[in-house]
Amino acid sequence: MKDPIKFELTTEIPDHIDQVLVPHFQGTEIDNSWIPGGVIGGFSGKHREICALLVQQQQQQQVVFLLGLGKESQLLVAYRTFRQFIDNEKTRITSILMVDLRHLPESVVYQCVLGLSLSDYSVGVYKTENDESHLLRQVQLLVNQKTSDFVAQVDEARHTSMVMKSICALVDGPGNFKTPQYLGQWAQESGKSNGYRVEILDHEALEQQNLQALLAVGRGSEHQPILIKAVYTHVDKDSSKIDLGLVGKGVTFDTGGLSLKKPTNMHYMKSDMGGAAAVLGAIELIARLELPLNVAAIIPVAENSVDALSLRPGDVIQSHAGKSIEVIDTDAEGRLILADALSYIQQQYSPDVLIDLATLTGSCVATLGHEAAGLFTHDDTLADSICLSGDHTQERVWRLPLWESYQDALYSDIADVKNLSGKPVAGAITAAKFLEFFIKDEQKWAHLDIAGVAFGDTGHARMKSATGFGVRLLVDFARSLISK
């Protein structure tokens, strides 16, 4: 990964600056101090409005960009506007840019740094020719005073952007590179660099631990499944107590198995480990920020492929929880590996709160589109906390029901439960009900179906690409646990 953009807080305007960015909210007074004569025709600050002006300042010419951030109510998504600005103007932006933030709320500093830092992410890492001649390398943030709060905002935004870019690269990576073993190695390197423990359970260890559902899903691939165990403990906390447990679906490529997917969009199934990426990103960012809580993350990783050994529709398999599962559809494999992971994390760590994330169902996309993840939990307080974190980060969630009446759809004549209802309705709900089957009664648990928000039309690539959804949501939620 290329060197990140450098950010500097300053209260002084240098003698020479070639380019200045002056963002404004719609309906606020325009700061015209950079414009000789103060004449700015037509600029109103509307969302993503850009006005580029070539001005003469004493003996030098400057390019002054006016950027519309939209209404002040859009502050929490301002980072997207800053990122889009660089996408739009990258051929005109030279290596150094000054951003005048003196007339804006203090919280814009975080949004600005996050957005500009994310702007240097590119999906084209495998291109033999990648033009980097017009890349922003340094940003000077002009503020009224360099406070400790500003410094903290810059640091957190930088850490957040680095993690988000890293996990986006994981999700966007092709399946032939991104094997289960690659994901395990990524986690080990991240843990070593950022101060959390990582252990990998290989095929033999999975058998010893009776993770039969995970083994069943991965047996049709030449790349054997693994289980990633990642644990972060704060120095001031009792390491035996886990405050937050995270589980992320890690299907590195999903053909659908013998229940083969249609070929039209199968190339996008490299993204079916978006939940794993979000969980790995969240624990890394929590470790980078040294948040005072203990977190355990379990990531079941497999490739769902087609082979003589592949799982068949109609097969009955066992699970870590000791419950039998009738496999109706091998393309409903994500819930199988999650079942083992959820059972395992409860047995090994008994977390106070347990959240799983998965690109699980097309049904959730049909219900909520690409605006929100589906949230499933029986705990009203937990639901409210996650929804609030979704609002804070604009990684939104919407609660859907887990009523007992949906359970009948998963009744099996020959096993404890079946993995698909077979009905063309309520697919996201019955998938969540299947996972609930492996949750202990006393466990505080929530499931997030992120199929519609982890990967899609981002506007930063011609094809669908990773969004980084989930990292900021989980870290904000972790902070809410600390405050309690």
**What would you report as the CA-atom Rg of the chain, rounded to the nearest whole angstrom?**
24
Is the Cβ–Cβ distance between 307 and 221 less than 8 Å? yes
Which of 158, 270, 335, 472 is catalytic? The answer is: 335
Is the Cβ–Cβ distance between 304 and 255 less than 8 Å? yes
455-456 vs 417-418, strand pairing mode:
unpaired
Is the Cβ–Cβ distance between 77 and 25 less than 8 Å? no
Task: Determine whether 262 is an active site residue.
Answer: no
Task: Determine whether 261 is an active site residue.
Answer: yes
Which of 261, 323, 444, 479 is catalytic? The answer is: 261
The rounded distance, in Å, linking the Cα atoms of 137 and 417 is 55
Is the Cβ–Cβ distance between 243 and 252 less than 8 Å? no
What lies within 8 Å, CB to CB, of 319 at 6+ separation is: 212, 213, 325, 336, 339, 340, 343, 438
Helix (H, G, I), strand (E, B) or coil at 297: strand
The one-letter amino acid at 443: Q
The one-letter amino acid at 36: P
Placement of tokens 């981002």 in the chain: 458
CA angle 386, 388, 390 (to 5 degrees): 70
Token pair listed for 306 = 């087609």
Catalytic residue numbers read 261, 335
